[in-house]
Every structure is written in structure tokens, then in C-alpha cells.
Amino acid sequence: MTRSPASGPEILTFGEAMALFIAETSGDLADVERFQRRIAGADTNVAIGLSRLGFNVGWLSRIGDDSFGTFIRRTLEAEGLDCRHLKVDPEHPTGLMFKERALGGADPRTEYFRRGSAASHLTTEDAGSVDFSALRHLHATGIPPAISASSRELFQHLLERARAAGASISFDPNLRPSLWESETVMRETLNDLASRADWVLPGLAEGRLLTGYETAYDIAGFYLDQGAKAVIIKLGPEGSYYRGTLGGQEEEASVPGFPVAEVIDTVGAGDAFAVGVVSALLDGRSPQEAARRGNLIGSLAVQVLGDMEGLPSRARLDALEAELTV
């Protein structure tokens, strides 16, 4: 059923968006004089990707009463996001992120200036105006519960309300160990939150750290035992792995990745994968087809500079998928 935008977004995402500055030249950030301004945030990457595919996506967060916050709002609204739940915090600043220009497909080094940011002061009150009856799906990552205790409470509140409203829930751990007080707290908190999701989307290394298991099969089994319906694990260039239960029967599959001639920027690849998986499942595709679409959009993301610049429109995605079926 298509809902009126007036009743609220059908998909809700939340977390922290930051102003991103990408070095124009390679080398140590201390030596770089010029940067390109973009926006960054795992949660907003997914929100933008789903919006480009035609979904009605809402963004819940806080920004500072500053030029960077204005820039973020304008960028998200230009991408079609519903920002009715994006509040201006006059007392705390918008977070910033700086990223080096890496060469040869290496993971770029990043530096964050987000401690005490507006988004770190998110609370359950920020969800007071959300119309959960209009909600079809909630996408969450492990970043909001890491940035502050009050944001962690908001995360739990949104999961509970979304579940009570009958919305589906996807969860990408998106580990940020430096934001947590300890690895133990990180592991226990994220595994508890993942147990409330329908679709869990860890990377293989993340799954190993969070569960203590080594193989994709056992990592998926851990989350299925906790209550997940499907676990789709990112395997990098090799593709992805799916394990879940459909129609009362358990299924599993390894889905190969798509070759890429040149990797330009790896940041955002996991978020692009989540866009592919979540969009496909919401489109009614099988988990294997969802994993394949995740691999496809992930391969697009690493071929361009920026966290979300490679995310396709629905028309481009349809064309690419049609080529693959020929």
C-alpha cells in the first residue's frame, strides 16, 4: 500500500550526518591544503540510496545551528529525504569529518570532530512526532548507540516502537570501536540490538568480532538463533553470503561479487550494499536476489570518490539489472 507523504515517511533512518572534507591530493592530511566538501554518515548514505530508488525516506537527527548544519539539510532535502524529524540544536555544533585521498584502492584514513556534536545529544524526545503507523521499515546501524547514552536510548525506543507497529527492521553493525567505552560493551549492546532486527547485515570481520565465530555460516547462525529472519554477510570483493528461513525452511547461498576495474574510494561500500539488500527485500525480491543487488550497488560505490556519489537512480539500477539477465 502506498502511503501519503503527509502521514510520515514509509522508511525511517536515524543517526549522525557530518560535513565531510575529502583531500584533493594524496598524502598525509597534515600536508593537504585543499579539500572538497561533501556530507558523510553511514545512516544518511543508506537513506540517500533508498530515496534515489524511489522510496519515501525520513531522516531523524540533530544538526547544529551553523553553516555545516544548513549545508547538510539542504543536501538531504535535495536528495528527496523527508527532514521533518531533523532538528536544529542551537547549543551544540554539527560534526565534521576529514578523509584522505587514498591510492590503489586502499582504505583512506579519516579524522573525526564529532565529540559533543548536536547528534550526540539525540534523545527519545526527538522521536516524539514520528508517526509509527505510517512506517513500513526502519533501518538502523551500530553508530547511534555508540555516540552517546541518550542516543542509545533513542535507538532502543525506535526499535521497540517500530516492532510494535509491525514495521520490518534492518540492522548493519557498522562498527566504530573508538566510540565505545569498551569492546565488551560494544559487543553486548550491538548483539542485543541485532536480536531485535529482521535482517542483520554484518561484514565478515564485524561478525567475527561480535560473535566469536569464524565462518559466515556460524556467524549467521548466531543471529538466527537470536531471532533474525535473515543474515546477509558482506565478504568484500568476493561478494556476500546469505542464510535465513523462508516458508519454514532454512536456506543459504554464497553470491559472487562483481569485478571492478579500478577501486577509487572504499568508504561507503558497506552502506551501498545495505541499500541494495534493503531495497530488494522491500521490492519483494528473494534474499539471494537481495544479496546480488547489494553486491552490485556496492561495486558501483567503490568506483567513484565520495561516500554516496555512486549510488544509482532507480532507472540506472533497472538498466543494470536488465543487462545482467540477458
Residues annotated as part of the active site: 271
57-64, strands of its sheet edge to edge: 86-89, 57-64, 11-14, 137-141, 168-172, 199-200, 230-234, 239-246, 249-256
Total count of residues recorded for the chain: 326
In angstroms, rounded to a whole number, what is the distance separating the alpha carbons of residues 117 and 315?
37
- Nearest CA to 187 out of 204, 200, 206 is that of 206
Residues 67/308/54/75 CA torsion (nearest 10 deg): 10
CA–CA distance, 29 with 22 (Å, rounded to integer): 10
Give the residue among 184, 181, 197 at the shortest CA–CA distance from 148.
181
One-letter amino acid of 268: G
The set of cell numbers assigned to 177 is 570501536
